[in-house]
Structures are given as C-alpha cells and as structure tokens.
Structure 1
Amino acid sequence: MSEPQTIERVRALVAPIIADLKLDLYDLEFRGGTLRITIDTPAGSTAGVDLDTIALATRLIGREFDHHDPIPGHYTLEITSPGLERTLRTPEHFRREVGKEVALRLRDTTNSDRRLQGVLVAADDAGATIRLNDGRVDDDRPDGAAERTVAYEQIDRARTVFTWGPGPKPGKKAAKPTSKKELAK
C-alpha cells in the first residue's frame, strides 16, 4: 500500500473519533515508521488541546487501530497537538493562522528573499500574503508596510512564530508607596 493510500485509510479511521471529541484533525504524517496524528481545538478557539484530551484520543485511536490495523508491519503511533509554533502545510493551516506572525522558507528563488517573516494577512487556495516586518517600505500603501504574496508551491517550509509578551523581571519587587496618598489607594 502506498503512503497516500495509508494516510487516507488512517484519515478515514481517525476523523470520526476526532470529530466526536469536538476536535479538528490538524495533520497526518507517516514517516520513518512513525504515524504522527496532530489534533487541535476548532479554529477560533482560545484554548489549546490539553494532555488529558490527547491521552483520551490516544486510547480511542489505539483501540480502533487494534481492530482495523491500517498500517502493515510495525510502526509507532504518536498523537500530538500542533504546539505554539505550528507547521503550516495546507491552505487550511494558513487560513486558520491569518493575523498571526509566520516565518517562511521559500524554494529556490532568483532573488535574495529566501526567508520571509511577517504577519499573515490573507490566505486562499492559491497562496498566502505576508506583511513583512523586515523594515521594507511600500510607498503605495497607506501604512507603508510592504506585503508579499507567495504561491504555496514556492513555500518549502512555513510555521507560526510565537512571541513572548512583556512580563515582570524576575526577582523584581513591586514599588512601595512613598506617600499617604498612594497608601490610601
């Protein structure tokens, strides 16, 4: 059985289980004897998949595979969430992440723009548009930010970029009030 046939057979078995858990089947990958099934909360959800849900999905999918073994021979089953920095491989992945920062590595290019990073502003079935954050300026745009539309065929790798927000410095104590007025607050 070819790899695409194996993936489709696995998809047919796991999709109903994942849907019953009110989750999305984010990605399927079979490489090097490891079947990696990536599950996620529905698009637009603020919470991610927790460890208990991954454990439950692993048990249910494992039981289904025991009854209808979709892969001949030995393999390792891995159920995971996409994580904070998600790999983007399909148009649906890109559509889910519009508005977020992404990094792209392009296939052979004739210019020096092999790596791009910026905010994903649009995605459709043909490609994605990135508002570049490398300081380039586009005088034709009101905000001056340069954008680049890239066809999916040109993309070698893509992922979201997680940026830590500002937080308190470790070991820094809160400022003590210095006046009676501040104490009354």
Structure 2
Amino acid sequence: MKNQIYMEFYKKLKEIVEPICEKYSYELVDLEYRREPHGWVLRVYIDKVGGVTVEDCAYLSEKISKELDIKDPIPHSYILEVSSPGLDRPLKRKRDFERHMGEKVNITLLEEIEGKKKFEGKIFKVDESSVTLKIDDSFVTIPLEKIKKAMLIVEF
C-alpha cells in the first residue's frame, strides 16, 4: 500500500515536471523525493545533448519551482534541487542505453543469466526489449526487464 501511494505521488510529480523539461529541450532523467537530515528534498535530474551546465540547472529550477508552486503537489516544505545525473549516471530506459552506445557499463541483474548476475562490457546493441554487451570477444544479450541496476563506467 505504502509503495503504491509513493508510485502515484511519483507519477504526479513526473506529470508536472516532465512537460516543463521537454518544453525547454531537456530530458527528465529521474526524480527523487526523500527525507534527508535537513528535511525533504525533491531532486530532478536532467540531461540534454551536449551536457548540462549550472546555468541550465538554475534556469530549469526556476521554471519547475513556479509550476510546483501553482499545482502544489507536496503538502509540506521541501528543497528543490535540479542537477545533471553525473558522469557515472544510472541507465534506466532503452534510450539511456542507446545514447551511450559503445560506452562501458556495469550491469547488475535481478536474476542470473549464464550463471552470472553482474556483467561489465561495452554497449554493442540495443533493441526494444534488450541490450547486448560486448565483453572481450563475446556477446551477452540482457533483457531490459531483468536489469536491476546499470551504471556507466567512467574512464579517464
């Protein structure tokens, strides 16, 4: 029950925030709403072609804040933070994997494939329901619904 209430709340926030992001040519990567030591925080992670600047975050924060003030979906005080997902961003959707084709990722699965739950390799192919990694000289295809967590590996 508690999880369902959170999902409905998350959906409501997304319905407010995502159109604003799209209107100004940003992609809503993720939303996070949680209680922290200094109070409630709504984090909005955004991206765009060419990357996100501090100015982008400030600009979109102002737009989102105005709309949240009007629609007032959060019944108590909170802090709004708008930021980029960072270099080691999580990959959650098909388009996230597509955008990072050829890059190295670390994937943890919900259940084993070929006797393993963790894979590290380069994104080789993405289709409607799976991602294929190139690991050394072999390939492994992973259904998207079996991915628990996928993170880019930052190489310097």
TM-score, normalization by structure 1: 0.71
Where does residue 15 of structure 1 map in the other structure?
Answer: 18
Q: CA deviation at 1:16?
A: 2.8
Q: CA deviation at 1:110?
A: 7.0
Aligned residues: 149
| Cα distance in structure 1, aligned partners of 2:113 and 2:139 | 18
Contact 1:3 1:30 in 2 (8 A): no
Deviations 1:47-80 (A, max 9, x none): 2100011011111111211121122334332211
Structure 1, unaligned stretches of length 5 or more?
Answer: 134-144, 165-185
How has the CA–CA distance of structure 1 residues 124 and 34 changed in structure 2, closer, same or farther, with 3 Å as cutoff?
farther
Structure 2, unaligned stretches of length 5 or more?
Answer: none
SS of 1:8 mapped into structure 2: helix
| Cα distance in structure 2, aligned partners of 1:71 and 1:107 | 32
Structure showing greater Rg:
1
Greater fraction helix: 2
Residue 102 (structure 1) aligned with residue 94 (structure 2): no
- For 2:148, give the aligned amino acid: D
How has the CA–CA distance of structure 1 residues 110 and 31 changed in structure 2, closer, same or farther, with 3 Å as cutoff?
same
Where does residue 129 of structure 2 map in the other structure?
Answer: 126
Structural mapping, 1:7-156, within 5 Å: 7-32=10-35, 33-41=40-48, 45=49, 47-109=50-112, 112-133=115-136, 145-156=137-148
- CA RMSD in angstroms, aligned pairs only: 2.1
| Aligned sequence identity (%) | 29
| Cα distance in structure 2, aligned partners of 1:103 and 1:159 | 5
Deviations 1:76-96 (A, max 9, x none): 322111111110112222222
- For 2:106, give the aligned amino acid: A
